[in-house]
Structure 1
Amino acid sequence: MNKDKKPQQNTILDIAEALKLSPATISRALNNHPHVKEKTKNDVLKMAAQLGYRRNQMASGLRSNKTHTVGLIVPRISMFFHAEVITTIQNSLHKHGYNLIICQSNDLLSMEEELADILYASRVDALIVACTLQTTDFSHFDKLVSSGIPVIFYDRVPLDAYPATFIKGDDFRGGYLATTHLIETGSQRIAHISGKLSSNLYQDRSAGFRKAMEQHQLPIHAEWVFHQELTHENAKEAMAKMFSGTVVPDALFSANDVTAIAALEFAKENGIQVPRDLKIIGYSNDPRTSITTPALSTIEQYPAKVGQKIVEVLIEQLKSGEKGSGLEQRPYVIPVDLIRRMSS
């Protein structure tokens, strides 16, 4: 066999010749046209499979100006919340006849900018984005919006007005619920580890923390409030600083579960009893929080509901042809709930 010889690419003309039908009939049958008899459709599909015919999706998209593909950019696919959202989006879009192109920015702005260009060049029918923590300028999405391509930001969304749809969790209420819970269980010296305030997530969760503290007339100790990259290592360093003095926190509200788990580890390593000496609550309801010892209290974000809302809004926009510039600047807010466990 000649390894350099390319496999033959059979076309609609080959199927038409084999079945003695017109190319137009073959095309309609492959596109499930209602005016084509079921027997003819079945014969065409059978012959297409027999000949190894592969539909040229790009060519079809160029003719119809629709590719039936949707682009998705997420910070990290490995993050529990985003993994759940992605699964829901892909399964739901498939039912509507759309394929999903999943891209990972690695939480890097330069990668996000490059991916936005690639997906635009790939002629996606729409784009879904959870931005990086560094994204403050959204001009790399302008070409999609100006071309009438629906853009939906979810979870991490622009802080300022932008002609796109926003779908986010109720992060202010999440921060408020978490802090109020700690106060109601007897805590008065509450620490807070949050992400950088360039992100809407951490602005809102921190605002909820401050609101609860103010309502209960509790002091906020500046030396116990951290706005940093929410990594395991950073959490351990923050905990070490908080517990280096004579007066220490009796509770911690962490703006994500990774930090809450790291804080629990620090407590165990340093003989701090949870929840007797230190109550801890995280954010996101990562599955790991239910199997730690003690199990961690957290805030449930309902990622499946976020994914469902994204697809619901997106399909409506695709059907109506609604363009970004005409969208009402009103975010869709998904409710959150407090999950009480043994750490608080």
Structure 2
Amino acid sequence: MNVLSITAPIFMLIALGYAAVMWGVVSREHIQGLGRLVVNFALPALIIRALSENALADVFDAHYLLAYGLGSLLTFSAGLFLAWRVQRHRLDYAAISAMGMATANSGFIGYPIAVMVIGPTAGVALALCMLIENMMMIPLGLALAEAGSQQGISIRKTIMTTARRLVRNPIIIAIVSGALISLSGLSIPAPFYKALDMLADASAPVALFVIGGTLYGLKVQGMYRDIGQITLAKLVCHPLLVLACFQIFPIDNTELMAGALLIASAPMLSVYPIFGVRFSMDKLCAAALLAATVTSFITISATIWMIHQSGA
């Protein structure tokens, strides 16, 4: 019941977003607008608040980055090898499939759950996980997919294009801004901090509502093996490999480690189907997102139970 008291409100908000679109109370365009609000303003505000309130040395834990990054990279590599070399799919197909296995929906699902379990430390965990996802996992997956798409685009050009996009990414800008504020030792003026605080507090509920609205209309038809494979790797293999890597690179802050495991236990990125469009994989990506989001109720609940049992 303790676990259910944490997970039930999360999935109730997702269900509310789903029902709102299904009943026509909110349109898909409204959901897209709310999604942009979260990605471009609320989550960056959350990250700036989390980083600016802590000493930089306490935030950028090298072992945390190594453990989460290595666990994600191992999951990606295993998924890529299975789809590309064993199942003989195209490289672009394999790379996008592997991206779904190794990148978590840290902002829309992972953080809202983590903050209910470990409190404010979840903001730091979110910033670190997003750093790994935006600086390593997503660029790696897209570069390999572009290289395998046979569209005549060189890896170098793909990397340069991805780098330019990263420089303009609000999440990356927020991480750099928060780090600079932390290093400077300055405090954010009260009126600005209040606005930042209000935006940050809106991120979790609005993000969950957006996930529900996005899921409406997605159908799981065909491709059951690939959908199951991506879902299983994302919800089971990814958090287990992250946990194993934390045994190699342990950290003293058990709450921070719990945050990493909860985020790794979340389904893949909500924009995963968007990445799949360029490679004619949007239906597979959307179906995998739907399957993983529904199934994650069980796996996230199990993760919370294990964290409570361990006393973290």
Q: TM-score, normalised by structure 2?
A: 0.27
The structure whose residues are more often helix, as a share, is 2
Greater RCO structure (CA 8 Å; 6+ sep): 2
TM-score normalized by the length of structure 1 = 0.25
Larger radius of gyration, structure 1 or 2?
Answer: 1
